[in-house]
Amino acid sequence: MSITPILSAGEEWREKANNWVTGKGVNNQGRVRSDNIPSRTVDGLFFRSQNEVLFYKALKLLGVPFAPLPVFIRGGEEYKRIEPDFVIVKNGVVLVVEVDGDTVHKETPAAAHDRTAMLAHEGVHIERIRASECQTADQAVACAKRMLQVIDKIKSSR
């Protein structure tokens, strides 16, 4: 009697192997918050609301560097993990944008502040926008442009 592995490969084995080797589908996006798991995907990225998807598309259209739903960790004894909705980087300014709405965030203003304080205390600017400001593509573009104006204002005040 001999024990040997059964070698069987599906028809897509080559594509699956290539995806694994190239890291396809691997990203730094938040997906594990058990109380609010992202349920939408666009361009292989995760989002928690349609309003966030529209804001993402607006930022993409405007050509600014940004990260949707990235994971930030502060290690040490006071370990903390947060997943801001968006981080925009422009002209040396880092701006976190939180999209707030009834179905998006259900935290109090104090809890929202506590959640993002670790970034704010490091010099990151935090802006909160209402989900209702991003209900259409045009609204989302206007909102994204406004956030870029906020960055310009922060930059000019330095």
The CATH code of the domain that includes 83 is 3.40.960.10
Residue 22: inside a domain? no
Residue 12: inside a domain? no
Residue 55: inside a domain? yes
Residue 92: inside a domain? yes
CB 80 within 8 A of CB 73: yes
CB 58 within 8 A of CB 144: yes
Please say if the pLDDT value at position 84 is more than 60: yes
β pairing state of 125-130 and 93-100 = parallel
Query: What pLDDT band is residue 40 in, cutting at 50, 70 and 90?
Result: confident
Q: What percent of the chain has pLDDT over 90?
A: 50
Q: What percent of the chain has pLDDT over 70?
A: 78
Please say if the pLDDT value at position 93 is more than 90: yes
Please say if the pLDDT value at position 16 is more than 80: no
Q: How many domains does the chain have?
A: 1
Distance of CA 118 to the CA centre of its chain: 17
Q: Which has the higher per-residue pLDDT, 11 or 129?
A: 129
Residue 7: inside a domain? no
Domain residues for the domain of 130 are: 28-156
Residue 16: inside a domain? no
**Residue the block writes with tokens 């739903």:** 69
Please say if the pLDDT value at position 106 is more than 60: yes
- pTM for the model stands at 0.77
Residue 10: inside a domain? no
Distance CA 85, CA 118 (A): 15
